[in-house]
Amino acid sequence: MQVHAKKALVFVCGGAAAILIAGAMSLTLSHVANATPAYAQQTGKACAFCHQNPAGGGALKSAGAKFKANGHKL
Same domain, 71 and 38: yes
What are the tens digits of pLDDT across the range 4-30?
888 888 889 999 999 999 888 877 776
Integer Cα distance of 20 and 63 in angstroms: 35
Largest CA distance in the chain: 69
pTM (two decimals):
0.48
What are the tens digits of pLDDT across the range 34-52?
556 788 888 888 888 899 9
Same domain, 38 and 74: yes
pLDDT at residue 62 in the model: 93
What domain range includes position 15? 1-30
pLDDT at residue 30 in the model: 62
Same domain, 19 and 54: no
Residue 22 · residue 30 · CB < 8 Å: no
- For the chain, report the end-to-end CA distance as a whole number of angstroms: 64
Helix residue ranges, H only, 1-74: 2-29, 38-43, 62-69
